[in-house]
Structure 1
Amino acid sequence: MADEQLDVPLNAIRAFVSIARERGVTRAARSLGMTQSSVSRYLANLEDYLGAKLIQRRGRDTELTEFGRLFATVVTEPLDTICYTAQRMRRRPQREVNRIVVRTSLTTLAYTLLVPNIQAFSKEYGGAIVDIVNSLSPPAAGDGFDVLITRDLSVIEPADQWELYSEQLVCVGASALVAGKGPSTINAAPMLTITSRPDILPTWLRAMNLTPADIHSGARYDHHYLALPAIANGNCLLVAPEIIVSHLIRDGLVTVIPGTRVPSGMVYRVYAVDRSGNPQLARLFCRWLVRLFRQNSAGSA
């Protein structure tokens, strides 16, 4: 006779993923619209199925065991994908539109990386619509967005977060200007200044053990996206985050001067806020964005 325990307890896995995400049985029950006893029963059934403890209680707090953290990491993304796909394929009218709002404080990044690739996400996830808005102001709980992409803003409300990119600064110039040349090229052409990121050039100079006297100051631009065409087509240099010039590097329009890559100390993150009207699609978008950043970081190295 078949052993019933061989059937994978999917409802119990869903309850456990909610416990891991909400950091507690009570909050998970509230999130799932279930009783606390039902969630606890699902947890017990899953632990019995796996033969291992998934959580440990320390007073009123609930923490995942090492095995629990590993299991949550492995099953969370596939479960979100299954739930999202099942909702999208329901054969009846849905109340929720297959749509999310992505807010970003990184205008140039949106222009150079996000927008050109957004249709790939839409195609991968059944025609999902992604609205993109830009704002430099700190986000508030009443703002209408599902995902926040930022380098310098903080989210004070509950949200899942992913690290996208540890910012690397590079000095670039038109390939015809700097290709095959070394760091001595730095003082052979004017260096553009970006007024919206006044921290970049001083940070890069310190890391390179240089002073402002070691470079030729060039024109000033408000934003990187205004300076990129000037760099690709002119006799000038620019220190910029590598991620926003990766497409120009890949297309052979600009070249990184060897030995000029340094970390800025800034970290790009993406947040899927808990109050999102479409939380599964928001989390899927965040994971897709992590993959996109990895591909572009590898391609520009």
Structure 2
Amino acid sequence: MSRRLPPLNALRAFEATARNGSLTRAAQELSVTQGAVSRHVTQLESWLGVRLCLRLRRGIETTPQGAAYAATLRSAFDQIEAQTQRLRARSIDNTLRIKLPPTFAIRWFVPRLARFHALNRHIDVQITTSHQQVEFDRDDVDLCIHSGAAPIPGALCRKLFGEILMPVCSPGLFKSAPPPQEPADLARFVLLCSMHRGEDWPDWLGTAQVKTIDGNSGLKFENSALAYQAAIDELGIVMAQRAFVEDDLRTGRLVAPLPLRVQTKNAYYLAYPRSRQDSPLIKAFEQWIVQETAQMEETAQMEEVAP
């Protein structure tokens, strides 16, 4: 369905006139004659069938309908101008603006960022973190990593890896108590988790068929990165995502006392606007992160089958 809009020049002329309160000043701003501005405003009024402004001896005065219409136009033009400036700035710079979930950024992305920078020294990376889903038409970002059960509507999305839950803790936690031999033994320990992931413990315990432990009990933190640090500091056992603790497991800073792994319905996706799919910066990042995640999955599979 095609849009039925008034002539753009008429909209610009009226918005400038209403904002300046003068046909003369609007003409100066638009670099046209006062007569041209007056004709455009008259044309717009005729097109709408509404009186937008009153011509006075010392200027113009908008009618109530005209003032409301001018405010709407001003907001729309402001948004167009701001987005245009952002696009023009991006076309001449080499900055890649990325929005990430906090724990993904801290536990997975930042430790690997040096490898991306080594391959793409001409690209400057700007990172912001948030649990809120990105809005590409409002947020000043080029791409994001999205966590959830489905991709972001209207964006190009590529699945990177799924979520696999597993309980982990510091080996020092077992200096004064024996490690759990089965899931029910977790009742002897403090459970740690993120406030944003309140279903992780209940889901894992449900799969383990443990009904004697309240999965909502224990210590809760603002994000998973804090919960992982609490586990390292021997406060208890955290329900972790495998991808975010693999390095700690390899170094022995964390251990997995129980073998059960639970795969959730959620996954991590790379997402960016369709309008940016030909960006060389985004293409370079997508190629790199897909290789990184593929290598991570391959290494994890090899470690699972190793004796």
What's the TM-score once normalised by structure 1's chain length?
Answer: 0.60
Q: Which residue identity is paired with 2:196?
A: S
Moved more, 179-188 or 145-154: 179-188
Instruction: Specify the SS of the correspondent of 2:118.
Output: helix
Cα distance in 1 for residues equivalent to 2:235 and 2:127: 34
Question: Is contact 1:118–1:130 with CA below 8 Å preserved after alignment?
Answer: no
Q: Which residue of 1 aligns with 2:123?
A: 128
Question: Within 2, Cα distance between the matches of 1:143 and 1:229?
Answer: 30
Residue 57 of structure 1 aligns with which residue?
Answer: none
1:242 is displaced (CA, Å) by 1.0
Matches within 5 A, 1:70-81: none
Distance 2:286 2:241 in 1: 21
Q: 1:212 to 1:286 in 2, by over 3 A?
A: farther
CA shift in 2, pair 1:192/1:247, >3 Å:
same
Higher-Rg structure is 2
- 2:166 corresponds in structure 1 to 170
> Matched residue of 1:256: which SS?
coil
Task: Select the residue among 126, 140, 153 that pairs with 1:156.
Answer: 153
Alpha-carbon offset, residue 169 of structure 1: 0.2
Q: Distance in 2 between matches of 1:279 and 1:129?
A: 14
Contact 1:167 1:266 in 2 (8 A): yes
Unaligned runs of 5+ in 1: 1-93
Choose from 90, 102, 110 the match for 2:105.
110
Identity across matched positions, percent: 19
Q: 1:98 to 1:218 in 2, by over 3 A?
A: same
Q: Match of 1:275, as an amino acid?
A: S
Q: CA RMSD in A?
A: 2.8
Please state how far the C-alpha of 1:171 moved relative to its aligned partner: 0.6
Assess, with a 3 A threshold, how the Cα gap between structure 1 residues 126 and 214 changes in structure 2: closer, same or farther: closer
**CA shift for structure 1 position 261:** 0.9
User: Judging changes above 3 Å, is the alpha-carbon distance between structure 1 residues 243 and 234 closer, same or farther for their aligned structure 2 residues?
Assistant: same
Please report how far the alpha carbon of residue 95 of structure 1 lies from its aligned counterpart in structure 2 after TM superposition. Answer: 5.9
1:274 matched to 2:269? The reply is no
Q: Are 1:213 and 2:208 matched, yes or no?
A: no
Distance 1:111 1:166 in 2: 18
Is residue 162–residue 270 contact of structure 1 (8 Å, CA) maintained in 2?
yes
- Residues 246 and 299, structure 1, Cα contact 8 Å, conserved in 2: no
Is the alpha carbon distance of 1:206 and 1:101 closer, same or farther for their aligned partners in structure 2, counting shifts above 3 Å?
same
C-alpha spacing 1:223/1:129, structure 2 compared with 1 (3 Å):
same
In the alignment of these two chains, the number of paired residues is: 206
Equivalences for 1:215-254 in 2 at 5 Å?
A: 217-234=217-234, 236-254=236-254
CA distance in 1 between counterparts of 2:284 and 2:277 reads: 14
| Structure 2 match to 1:144 | 140
Amino acid at match of 1:183: E
Matched, 1:201 2:219: no
The match for 1:290 is 290
Hey, what's the Cα distance between the residues in 2 that align with 1:162 and 1:154? 8
The answer to whether the 8 Å contact 2:202/2:216 transfers is: no
TM-score by length of 2: 0.59
